[in-house]
Structure 1
Amino acid sequence: MNSRQITVGDQAWTVRVDGPQSRHSVLLLPDVDDRPDAYDQVCARLHNSDLRTYAVESIDGLDPVNITGLLDELELPWGVNIAGRGAGAALGWLVCSGGFGRFQSLVVADRGHPASPGADGVVPVPDTRPVEVPTTMLVTKNVPRSVADASGRYVYGEFRVVEIDVDDVAAEAATEFATEIVLRTSLW
Structure 2
Amino acid sequence: MEQLQVAAGNGTCTVRVDGPESRHAVLLLPGVGDPADVYDDVCTRLHNSDLRTYAVESVDGLGEGSLLGLLDELKLAWVNLVGSREGADLAWLLAARTFGRFASLVVADSGHPAVVGSRGAKVVSDCPAVELPTTLMIGKSTTRACADESGRRVFADFRVVELDGIDNVPAQAGHEMATEIVLRTSSW
**Same fold, TM-score > 0.5, yes or no:** yes
Separation in 1, partners of 2:135, 2:34: 21
Q: TM (normalized to structure 1)?
A: 0.97
| Matched ranges for 1:55-134 at <5 A | 55-78=55-78, 80-134=79-133
> Residue in 1 aligned with 2:21?
21
Structure 1, 118-127 or 81-90: larger mean CA deviation: 118-127
5+ long unaligned stretches in structure 1: none
Provide runs of 4+ in structure 1 moved above 6 Å.
none
- Name the SS for the 2:146 alignment partner: helix
**AA in 2 matched with 1:96:** A
Residue-by-residue CA offset, 1:53-107 (whole Å, 9 max, x unaligned): 00000001111111110000001122x1011110000110001103231100000
Separation in 2, partners of 1:100, 1:133: 10
5+ long unaligned stretches in structure 2: none
Q: TM (normalized to structure 2)?
A: 0.97
Total equivalences in the alignment: 187
The change in CA–CA distance for 1:32 and 1:121 in structure 2 (over 3 A counts) is closer
1:37 is aligned to 2:37: yes
- Name the SS for the 1:16 alignment partner: strand
Residue-by-residue CA offset, 1:136-172 (whole Å, 9 max, x unaligned): 0001011011110010111111000000121111111
- Name the SS for the 2:152 alignment partner: helix
Residue-by-residue CA offset, 1:109-132 (whole Å, 9 max, x unaligned): 000000111135422211111111
1:24–1:50: 8 Å Cα contact kept in structure 2? yes
Over the matched positions of the two proteins, sequence identity in percent amounts to 59
Separation in 1, partners of 2:137, 2:8: 30
> Residue in 1 aligned with 2:135?
136
